[in-house]
Amino acid sequence: MVHDPERLAARLVATAESRADAALSFLKDLIALSRHGEAAVQDHVAARLQALGCTIERLVYRPEDVPVRHEFASAAAMDAEPRESIVARFGGAGAGRSVIFFAHPDGEPVRGVERWFRDPFAGVIENGRIYGWGVADDLAGVAGFVEALATLVAAGVAPAGVITLASTPSKRHARGVFQVLHAGFRADAAVYMHPAESGVGMREIKAVASGLLELKVTVSGRLPQTREPCHTAFAHRAVNPLDKALHLIAALHRLGEERAARIHHPALERAVGRSTNILIANLICGTAGQSTRIADHCSFGVSVAFPPGERLEDVQSELAEALAVAARADEWLRATPPAVDWIAGVTGAEVADSHPLYRTVSGAVTRVTGQAPFVNPLHTSSDIRVPMVQAGIPTVGLGPLGGDLTQNGAHDEWVDVADYLRSVTVAALVMAEWSA
């Protein structure tokens, strides 16, 4: 293996450039196979990694059976069917540091394709972008680490440390990376490859992920004792659950402001001026267009973003206590407490920019793009948290420029072709330099 960093980088950059068409072709293959579902994509990934000389393990599991730490999800929030992760191992000829590269092959359910202006499964390339179902979320990440390893093999670089590549389901709390870790796979570091949704691409590194708590609060009311279809004249004899929901929402707004004044994270405050937020995302009450009838109940959705270092369990307790105190202050809610459904929660994590992993990844990005990257701390609940929280493995994320994600209700999802190819080169450099 070449030990001079500059010579190594030059060799890998040249090899990656010579393989650009092959790297793009593999991504197009995954886009085409996504029409047939996750299993078809995983089979192709496994075959390609085996052909590159990897040992392959296929982990079949049920998400609800995977143990987790400082995280939870309700049964309704996750898919129940069995899933499969592909785990490949390569290298390890010496005593070099080990690394796990991971990304997720699962996308949104295939529907609404009639809204697309381009064939979602053809890998159409126009004006420097490649379009396809799930290409930015996250087929480009899977293809990126596979083609990075192919670059190492083509360049004749034999890593001294073990490189683990994991194509793992993630969406709807699929817990693929959790299962890989639970199965005993470990490394000195990990890299999550996923196109950046922020419009920045390879100029940023995900090194900070805030935690996220989601819940639903349901409030019951009391209808007026009348058979009249119009409740307006009898409203004073009813208990309007909308009024009670607004009482609880006001309490959560007060808690949000108190938390913002008390809890501080430097990177988040530099980015958006605030380290934590409570969002009331929806309020469901009554019938749209109907203004003369009182509903028998109302519900509202809440989410809380909180910085690394704060415990999920503590945030959950604060929310529960704020709702309980507000309920005790109201005669109706004291007798008829609100129902709180905890939907999902994840704990945040971060890697300092002084960490050897960050320096290695940052150096690789700078060599390939010519620009020093920066940390984007605004990727709440990013999967970079998983190896850190579950196994104490430092993790960062990176990926090419992408946009119009299907999960955001958009169509014609895309990834920038040049940035995708840069991500392949950067990943190859990280693999070689970290595991030297």
Q: Name which CATH class applies to 211-346.
A: alpha beta
Structure tokens at 114: 């009639």
Average pLDDT of the residues of the chain: 95
The maximal CA–CA distance of the chain, rounded, in angstroms, is 86
Residue labelled with tokens 């704020």:
322
Q: Could you give the angle at the alpha carbon of 146 between the alpha carbons of 14 and 113, nearest 5°?
A: 115
Rounded CA gap, 270 and 87, in Å?
38
Average pLDDT rounded to a whole number, residues 328-349: 97
User: What does the pLDDT look like over 175-218, one tens digit per residue?
Assistant: 999 999 999 999 999 999 999 878 899 999 999 999 999 999 99
Cβ atoms within 10 A of the Cβ of 2, count?
16
Burial class (CB in 10 A: 0-12, 13-18, 19+), 141: buried
Contact, 27 vs 140, CB < 8 A? yes
Q: How many percent of the chain have pLDDT more than 70?
A: 99
Is the CATH number 3.30.70.2190 carried by domain 5-209+348-434? Answer: no
Contact, 368 vs 329, CB < 8 A? no
- Return the domain boundaries, the chain: 5-209+348-434, 211-346
- Cα–Cα distances (Å) from 43 to 12, 51, 163, in that order, read 27, 12, 20
Instruction: Please tell me the predicted confidence (pLDDT) of residue 3.
Output: 61
Strand partners, 91: 162
Instruction: Please tell me the predicted confidence (pLDDT) of residue 2.
Output: 45
Which of 179, 141, 190, 171 shows the shortest CA–CA distance to 58? 179
User: What does the pLDDT look like over 101-145, one tens digit per residue?
Assistant: 999 999 888 889 999 999 999 999 999 999 999 999 999 999 999
Decide the pairing of beta strands 99-103 and 162-167. parallel
